[in-house]
Amino acid sequence: MEPGYYEIASGQETLRIAGLFREGGKDLVFFIHGLGCSMDSFTGAWEAETMLPFSLLAVDLPGFGRSSKPAHYSCTMNDHADICLAILTKFSHPRVHLVAHSMGGAVGLLMTERLGDRLISFINVEGNLVTEDCAVSRKAASAQLGHYRRQLLGHLRIITAHSPERGLHHWYAGVKMSDDDGLNRSALSLVEHSCSGRLLELFRTLPCRSAYVHGDKNAALPVLKKLGVIPIISIENSGHFPMIDNPKTFYSRIAAFMLSPSS
């Protein structure tokens, strides 16, 4: 699938944001990717029959994928959220569902207050909420510019050679497309937000329906004990990238959640 591009003003610059969109129903599902990833994390949604009732939108955040990699863009979680909100103003769909993975969980939560009643549900796919979620981003944040990206690529090159997990292969490809500076600055901001306690509080007090999705290989995540009454959806035969490792089950489960009567 070939992406389109949205021109979004950010400070004194105009960013070109790569995105995929498909018109469907009145409900718009907006996918937000993780650190070192891209909208390619969610292309399976365009192939899933269970997602046919929805309009679909996914973008590459600045510094990642095919989008602009500007030297003066902050790459903070707040600025990423501003970019996503600016993109949503280009769509008139009255009902929005956010599906946010890893770092995208932080970005999505910072969008929620400004979406108001338009936001119908929030699906957090192993999104950053607490300090324990920062194993990868903390290393990136503390590394010298460019060093962590090279280090991570070397690590992923080794483990993907022996791992059947499709998600890890996807991540390797995404990190190769990421900007050195954007990766580090995004990681630094992500660690600050995750360790603040605010993300978990935002998630637990959302006025819309919400769910937490994880791969069954990550059933021991510490955050699972901190979610209170939020529904938890486990996707079998998958790790940190359930939408890639087991797309059929992943999209079937989230579609059922979004289509349930209380949505």
Q: Mean pLDDT score of the chain, rounded to an integer?
A: 92
Domain that holds residue 37: 4-259
The pLDDT of residue 52 is 98
According to DSSP, residue 56 is labeled E
Mean per-residue pLDDT, 205-222: 97
Query: CA–CA separation, 35 vs 37, rounded Å?
Result: 5
CA angle 212, 215, 218 (to 5 degrees): 95
Chain segment 3-14, per-residue pLDDT in tens: 999 999 988 889
**Number of other residues whose CB lies within 10 A of the CB of residue 35:** 25
20 phi, psi to nearest 5 deg: -115, 135
Confidence of residue 114 (pLDDT cuts 50, 70, 90): very high
- Provide the number of structural domains found in the chain: 1
Residues 141-166, mean pLDDT to the nearest whole number: 68
CATH number at residue 153: 3.40.50.1820
Instruction: Fill in the amino acid letter for 173.
Output: A
How would residue 96 be classed by pLDDT, with cut points 50, 70 and 90? very high
pLDDT surpassing 90 at residue 79: yes
Instruction: Please give the pLDDT value at position 72.
Output: 85
The pTM of the full predicted model, rounded to 2 decimals, is 0.93
E-strand spans in 38-195?
55-59, 95-101, 119-125
Question: Taking the mean position of all CA atoms in its chain, how far away is CA 18?
Answer: 15
